């Protein structure tokens, strides 16, 4: 059994370099006190934003500058905490920064509401008369788009006070699902017991042991099934909350409110569902192939996650991964590769697992820092693609911060997964060209097909379910447990086809999905993935002109334009079906390759 290293045993060259943020903890605490003392500056601008252009400009720049410093503090503290969560010094540091952030937010809480009280013509007059305000024009006018849905000061205060009790449904679900629910152990074909948790479920479902998969699946849905009516109540409660908010503010629907807040046209949502539904025969073909390759008389949902290509020796060390990354992203050109090389060699990446290190992977950073990537490296293909994915986020952040002022440097969540997924697609293309081992090619194709299935087909199914349950409630149809089970079961059958048995268990899957409490969030996984595939295809077929456009119009754009405009300028119109259709065509090509290759072996 391999023992994890302590943090101090990890080679410094494999750790991120946080001295680029603060040279020492003492320097951090000095800056902490400066930011803390600056919080009271907020009070001097309260009720005065409309008094003059100069006052508005001073308020905005004060808020922006102090926000930057606060973000810098937070990045330093949370990275130190995540590299060793058992270190109480850094846990306390992170907690103090979070507390400071709460104080900062409270001090400036009046800001947006007061901006919204300014008449649009007055706002334009103030902007026109002050050169400094002109750089904030897009943001200020954008904020005013929420004015028709903003209530009086007293009404807004009531809604703010109501936000905590209105959050009971999702909080109840979260506590139940993460803390209270217990699962039976799953027995494998040898009679061995395996502990089933939220964390272990996915890994167990990938097992080649079908007995273990079935028992894990039954354990999960037995537990959730016992609380079918309780979880119907929590989900119905959060839908009620969304509908209440939309009606009080005057939106057409709960979906209209959720998408308007991100400046997304509802047609994007509808086009996604329509286009994916038109291409469901491709998913049916893939599930039928899975059933055939697994040699099953009857295939259940617990058979959907075990790899079709197994026992492949496809080891990828971190040093090999770096080489693959540079080769894979070559189509992006030298300027982009220079960013990747800088990150790989100048302390952006914390590579290996150590005792106490936070699990998973992410890209972090702020306007005043370089990007940072957390990994827990294992020598496999999945980690290689994770590294490419996180470098997509990091390069996107790096370029947006380099080319945009702070207030325009954060990109919309709608485009957040595009750069990361585009990197993965370009890497996969290069690997297909260079790999000679047919089994490794099969493994890679299986990886891509599963990624598309899970991100485009499955997340679109989630999005369709979420839209339908909100529509039902808005039309006065109660969301009973039976109604939710029937709706979800029918959608599962429609999406996965006749090759898969839709049983009573899978009809209750809705009851364990936390994303249904996120308010029309999941569709963005599918749209982002589709946009990335469409862009990667353009890059590979048309070359540098597309790269230049993509880097300038999207990766460097931040939030200087609406998210749909940013993508359209980069070459993808998400208000049309075309990007979704193109992405589905790529899935079809991969499926053709997979079938042809597996039949040749």
Q: How far is CA 543 from the centre of its chain?
A: 28
Q: How far is CA 342 from the centre of its chain?
A: 25
Instruction: Using DSSP bridges, classify how beta strands 299-300 and 349-350 pair: parallel, antiparallel or unpaired.
Output: unpaired
CA distance 138 to 210: 56
Q: Contact, 520 vs 245, CB < 8 A?
A: no
Which two tokens mark 276? 């994916």
- DSSP state letter for 50: T
Task: List for the chain the helix, strand, coil content (%; round to 5).
Answer: 70, 5, 30
Separation of first and last alpha carbons in the chain: 36
What does R_g of the chain's alpha carbons equal in angstroms?
A: 25
Which two tokens mark 48? 């005065």
Instruction: Using DSSP bridges, classify how beta strands 299-300 and 500-501 pair: parallel, antiparallel or unpaired.
Output: parallel
CA distance 394 to 570: 18
CA distance 246 to 239: 11
What separation in angstroms does the CA of 600 have from each of 309, 312, 440?
A: 14, 17, 14
Nearest to 540 by CA among 452, 392, 419, 426: 426
Q: Contact, 303 vs 363, CB < 8 A?
A: no
For 532-566, the DSSP string reads HHHHHHHHHHH-HHHHHHHIIIIITTTTSS-HHHH
Q: Which residues of 378-394 are buried (b: 16+ CB within 10 A; e: fewer)?
A: eeebebbbbbbbbbbbb
Q: What angle do CA 390, 391, 394 make, to 5 degrees?
A: 90
Catalytic residue among 114, 170, 390, 562: 390
Q: Contact, 63 vs 111, CB < 8 A?
A: yes
Q: What are phi and psi of 194, to 5 degrees?
A: -130, 130
Our answer to whether residue 9 is catalytic in this structure is no
CA distance 210 to 306: 9
Q: How many helices (H) and strands (E) does the chain have?
A: 26, 7
For 492-528, the DSSP string reads HHHHH-TTEE--TTGGGGGGG-GGGGSSS-THHHHHH
Q: Contact, 372 vs 346, CB < 8 A?
A: no
Q: What are phi and psi of 306, to 5 degrees?
A: -75, 135
Q: Residue 427 contacts by C-beta under 8 Å, 6 or more apart in sequence?
A: 324, 325, 328, 329, 384, 385, 388
Q: Contact, 421 vs 532, CB < 8 A?
A: yes
Q: How far is CA 285 from the centre of its chain?
A: 28
Active-site residue set: 390
């Amino acid at each position: 059994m391999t023992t994890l290293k302590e943090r101090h045993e990890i080679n410094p060259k494999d750790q991120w370099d946080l001295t680029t943020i603060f040279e020492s903890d003492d320097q951090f605490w000095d800056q902490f006190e400066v930011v803390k003392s600056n919080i009271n500056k907020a009070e001097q601008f309260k009720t005065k934003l409309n008094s003059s252009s100069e006052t508005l400009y001073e308020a905005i720049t004060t808020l922006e500058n102090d926000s930057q410093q606060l973000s810098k503090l937070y990045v330093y503290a949370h990275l130190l905490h995540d590299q060793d969560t058992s270190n109480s010094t850094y846990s306390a540091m992170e907690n103090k920064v979070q507390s400071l952030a709460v104080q900062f937010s409270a001090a400036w809480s009046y800001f947006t509401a007061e901006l919204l009280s300014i008449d649009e013509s007055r706002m334009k007059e103030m902007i026109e008369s002050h050169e400094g305000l002109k750089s904030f024009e897009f943001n200020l006018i954008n904020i005013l788009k929420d004015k028709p849905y903003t209530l009086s000061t007293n009404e807004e205060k009531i809604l703010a006070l109501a936000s905590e009790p209105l959050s009971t449904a999702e909080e109840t679900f979260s506590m139940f699902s993460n803390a209270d629910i217990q699962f039976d152990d799953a027995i494998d074909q040898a009679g061995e017991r395996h502990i089933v948790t939220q964390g272990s479920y996915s890994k167990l479902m990938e097992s080649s042991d079908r007995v273990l998969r079935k028992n894990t699946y039954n354990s999960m849905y037995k537990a959730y099934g016992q609380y079918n009516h309780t979880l119907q109540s929590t989900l119905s409660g959060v839908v009620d909350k969304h509908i209440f908010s939309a009606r009080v503010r005057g939106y057409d629907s709960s979906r209209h409110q959720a998408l308007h807040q991100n400046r997304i046209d509802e047609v994007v949502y509808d086009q996604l569902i329509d286009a994916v539904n038109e291409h469901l025969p491709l998913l049916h073909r893939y599930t039928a192939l899975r059933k055939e390759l697994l040699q099953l008389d009857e295939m259940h949902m617990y058979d959907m996650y075990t790899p079709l290509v197994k026992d492949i020796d496809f080891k990828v060390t971190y040093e090999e991964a770096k080489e693959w990354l540079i080769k894979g992203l070559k189509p992006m050109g030298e300027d982009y590769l220079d960013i990747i090389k800088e990150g790989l060699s100048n302390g952006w990446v914390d590579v290996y697992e150590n005792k106490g290190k936070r699990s998973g992977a992410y890209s972090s950073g702020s306007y005043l820092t370089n990007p940072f990537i957390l990994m827990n490296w294992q020598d496999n293909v999945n980690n290689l693609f994770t590294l490419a994915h996180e470098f997509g986020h990091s390069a996107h952040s790096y370029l947006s911060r380099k080319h945009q002022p702070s207030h325009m440097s954060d990109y919309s969540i709608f485009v957040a997964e595009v750069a990361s997924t585009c990197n993965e697609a370009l890497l996969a293309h290069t690997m297909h060209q260079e790999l000679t081992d047919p089994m490794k090619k099969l493994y890679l194709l299986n990886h891509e097909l599963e990624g598309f299935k899970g991100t485009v087909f499955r997340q679109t199914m989630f999005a369709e379910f979420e839209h339908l349950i909100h529509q039902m409630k808005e039309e006065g149809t109660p969301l009973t447990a039976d109604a939710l089970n029937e709706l979800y079961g029918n959608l599962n059958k429609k999406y996965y086809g006749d090759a898969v048995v839709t049983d009573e268990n899978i009809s209750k899957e809705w009851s364990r999905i936390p994303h249904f409490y996120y308010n029309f969030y999941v569709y963005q996984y599918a749209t982002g993935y589709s946009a990335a595939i469409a862009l990667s295809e353009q890059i590979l077929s048309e070359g540098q002109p597309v790269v230049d456009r993509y880097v300038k119009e999207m990766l460097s754009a931040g939030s200087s334009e609406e998210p749909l405009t940013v993508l359209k300028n980069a070459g993808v119109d998400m208000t049309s079906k075309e990007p979704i259709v193109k992405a589905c065509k790529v899935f079809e090509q991969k499926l053709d390759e997979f079938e042809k290759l597996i039949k040749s072996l």
